[in-house]
A = this chain, B = another copy of it.
Amino acid sequence: MAKQLTSRSENYSQWYNELVVKADLAESSSVRGCMVIKPYGYAIWERMQRALDDMFKATGHVNAYFPLFIPKSFLSKEADHVEGFAKECAVVTHYRLKQNPDGSGVVVDPAAKLEEELIVRPTSETIIWSTYKNWIHSYRDLPILCNQWANVVRWEMRTRLFLRTAEFLWQEGHTAHATSQEALEEAQRMLEVYADFAENFMAVPVIKGVKSANERFAGAVETFCIEALMQDGKALQAGTSHFLGQNFAKAFDVTFMNKENQQELVWATSWGVSTRLMGALIMTHSDDDGLVLPPVLAPIQVVIVPIYKNDEQLAAIVEKLQPLVGALKARGIRVKLDDDDTKKPGWKFAEYELKGVPVRLAMGARDLENGTIEVARRDTMTKETLPLEGVEEHVAGLMDTIQRNILQKAKDFRASVTRTVDTYDEFKVEIEKGGFLLCHWDGTPETEEKIKEETKATIRCIPFDGDKTPGKCMVTGKPSKQRVVFARAY
């Protein structure tokens, strides 16, 4: 097969890169670091968007749209934020091209230089808070619960499809509140929404927690996160939710009149997930044969492949299959009957395995005779032959079964590579094997930095759940309140 993949054990990174391209999810474009999201990949992203958008609306949020460009001076208004985001960004300096007098094409028109450069948004806190200033006057104007679906640009030097690209798609929620407590609750609520989405739609188990100061968002007071674990034992930050305190309200002078008629600074949150989730989805479930998609997000949930010797047989099989197609559609299942006669069944089998279609049904001459059909599961790669009659019920049941099975499999894998480590010597050995290491840490940025420099491991989060027994830092021996989660990460 031309499409055969490098195996995960051979070269995990290459396996991923090949899979993304060969399964028609995305590819690199002519613009350095920018990807093209191909229709099959985009169809998965659309399902993610729809599910998340429904969840945001169910928690009281509305969508809006803010400008792509941010005046350079806005970035500087919040000291940490400019440190974090001004470094690598796309800068618009001119607004016109003109014909080169030498006839060689178009050149930048020097007469069309902007007075102030514009930055292509790397994130929108600054432009949004400069807008909220005009929207917020009284406590009656609060809370504001806005979300935006948008593209953002961060000029990354080393890019990988979905995981780290110069331009990516995301949603960014930006909320404004009258009290610290309310903002904090909002940030935590949205983290729960992300965790719910990751587990119940993507079938990706995540650890919920709070970031250490070193790993905090530039401008945040607290950053909450969900951390997933990939099959190579590396962690992937799958979503973040920030409690921004009054930092952006201060930077943009956003105050409100409270019920006691006093001016106060507004409290803020922001939260986002991006097309990076596609990377998490792919790397959590897929195998050496290709993608494995959770049925909830699969653009095609069931594919039906007729196996035939001649046109007459094909026609008979397709006719026999029509009621099944109808019955599956009636149950809301996304089904495709592939009767393309320019491709062989074997080619189709491999193709739909590569594309991660959860269930494949096949019917050949003998099935036609016997009134049976072959049912194959992508997650377990098992097959069974069942009576055609009533098979739609079995297939419908498989949607749930597969969704639960791949989540459980991912949970089991995570459990198998999560362990407690008590000494730094042991840590240095264990971290090479990958996985989550639960260790005591003294809470200082210095110790965290030392561990990162020496082992490339970072604190993924201080987990909300799990063992809260105090102990001693594995590096310094100083007291530690609870174990934190270490890993090497994407």
Contacts and interface: CB of A to CB of B under 8 A. Distances in A.
Interface string A90-115: 11111111100000011010000000
Contacts of A150: 151
A235 B435 CA distance: 63
A106 B76 contact: yes
Interface stretch (A27-35, A315-323, A352-360, A385-393): A27-35
Interface string A108-152: 100000000111100000010011001000001000001000110
A397 interface: no
A65 B37 contact: yes
A155 B267 CA distance: 35
A73 interface: yes
Nearest to A343: B140
Contacts of A76: 105-106
Interface residues of A, number: 62
Given A29-B131, A64-B38, A67-B36, A96 B87 contact: yes
Contact of A92 (B105, B120, B127): B120
A140 B342 contact: yes
A363 B35 CA distance: 56
Contacts of A67: 29-31, 34-36, 167
Contact of A36 (B37, B62, B131): B131
Given A68-B153, A69-B167, 7 more contacts: A29-B67, A69-B90, A76-B105, A82-B106, A86-B98, A92-B92, A92-B120
Interface of A: 27, 29-31, 34-39, 42-43, 46, 62-76, 82, 86-98, 105-106, 108, 117-120, 127, 130-131, 134, 140, 146, 150-151, 153, 155, 167, 169, 342
